[in-house]
A and B are shown apart, each in its own frame.
Chain A
Amino acid sequence: MESITFTETPFVRKKKRTEALAKLIFFLMALSMIIPLVMIIAYLVVQAWPILSIDFLLENPANRMRAGGVWAPLLGTIYLVVISLLVSAPIGVLAAVYLNEYATDNWFTRIINLAVVNLAGVPSIVHALFGLGAFVLFAGIGRSILAASLTLAIMTLPVIIASTKEALASVPMPFRTACWNVGATRWQTIRTIVLPNSISGILTGIILQVSRAAGETAPIMFTGAVFFKALKDDGLFAYNLLDQCMALSMHLFTISTQVPDVPHALPYGTAVVLMAIVLLTNGLSIAFRVYLRSRKRW
């Protein structure tokens, strides 16, 4: 009987080499994602080091923005982000629930879905012009925190709808049929099964929009953010909804390009604060997800 050796043929050896090479390339690409992030953060922090302190956070810009801290813009950014999400998150989540759980597949829902996808891809400067036209001029709100927040809300809404829909769609269909077959209405099904099993995905989608809303300059520049604004006091409620406000992203732009003789560390310090907000919210979203997942035993 002829015996078998199971040794490598040259072809197999070649395949193995290709395999190893492919793996290396993919690994390097993955690594190259981290390197810029680490380098950016390191660079910013090193450049900003002399100025970083709690006071930098809590002091207002002073001496025509050549000294002081970032309190007014920081507070402005918080206002803009919170108000815009208070608008877009509930609308977005409810709309997504409708689209995923109630809507039947007809031309109307197809148009809505198409609109969502396309709106999510519209550049932010276009949202800015829309906000200027719709809220500032047409609705007569004027340039204000409210108008800017609404513009940001319009910008984040389609993405929240899309991410929420995805989270809802990931809940297995048999969970729903199980509920329907014990006579649950659609809403009971959503409340008892669909939302509890998708809430962490929904929240992650929303929180990712925090960093987007905090980082964008264009939509707020036309609609409510200003270069400089003196706050009336130090409290958390120093801005009024119809006031204009400063914002970190805009402030960074101003002090890096519009104001001469700014101390070197100041823009870098501002950038670090902005980065910190983004990283902090992303970190929070991860922690929250882990927490929800650990609790989902109910």
Chain B
Amino acid sequence: MRINFKYLRPHSLNECLAVLATHGDESAILAGGTDLMISFRSGSRTPRFVLDISRLSEIRSVEQHAEVIKIGAILTYSELIAHPLIVKTFPALSAAMSCVGSLQIRNVGTLGGNIANSSPAADSIPPMMIHDAQVMIQKVNSVRIEKLERLIVAPYSNTLEPDELITGIILKPVETAYKQSYRRIARRKSLSIARVNMAVSAKLDAEGLIEDVRISVGSVAPTPLRIKKVEDSLIGLKPESKFIKETGELVARHIVDLVGVRHSTEYKRPAIAGLVIKCLEDVFID
């Protein structure tokens, strides 16, 4: 690689935060390295220090709290997909994590890295958004908790400061009455970036009408996003097949309105509509 740096492996979270406090702006945080190593190779990042956080035990566990589940930032996709509580509680997220790259990538890649990299096509982000994900961010002597939707502001760009570390992700489980789906369209199944990806979570009331529905879409706008306006307009409706088809069109139109017509619109518009239909069928029609 056309780069040189000093490699540091802090032994504790506090030690790591202390290094970030003094050298954050000239450091690169290394978790799984699946994005970072590529940017070293291409020369797009040339830090003075590389801070290996992959062994920090403080941020490698799944914790169940009364209302939320907290996922340590450096747990790998493979560890999470093998975690019974995660698989049971977050089926859409688990499905999304199984789509990431290849087994070799999933064996080292992390959720913290996926968030910090802030790709519009990140697979894990839409399924975290349907759980109103919050990101726990620490620096020396302080913790801030930011909504995932607010943290990512533009393609590959977020509000993380150089002295800050993502330490965990806080997800709200939903009741068992919810059904979820995650789907993506990509050129092939493995090792390809999603062209459209989508997570849906929904619940019907006793009469079979929609009581709650959450739809999050990736790869179609500068950042992955929840489409709350459309979600709200669906409450109280009956999810029949005609409705599902119309909702597909509605979501596609809404997104085109939001991001404007681009060179990819002609392809993406029907792709979005088609994917919405499939996801809604997954959750509403068994």
Chain B binds chain A? no
B residues apposed to A, CB below 8 Å: none
A residues apposed to B, CB below 8 Å: none
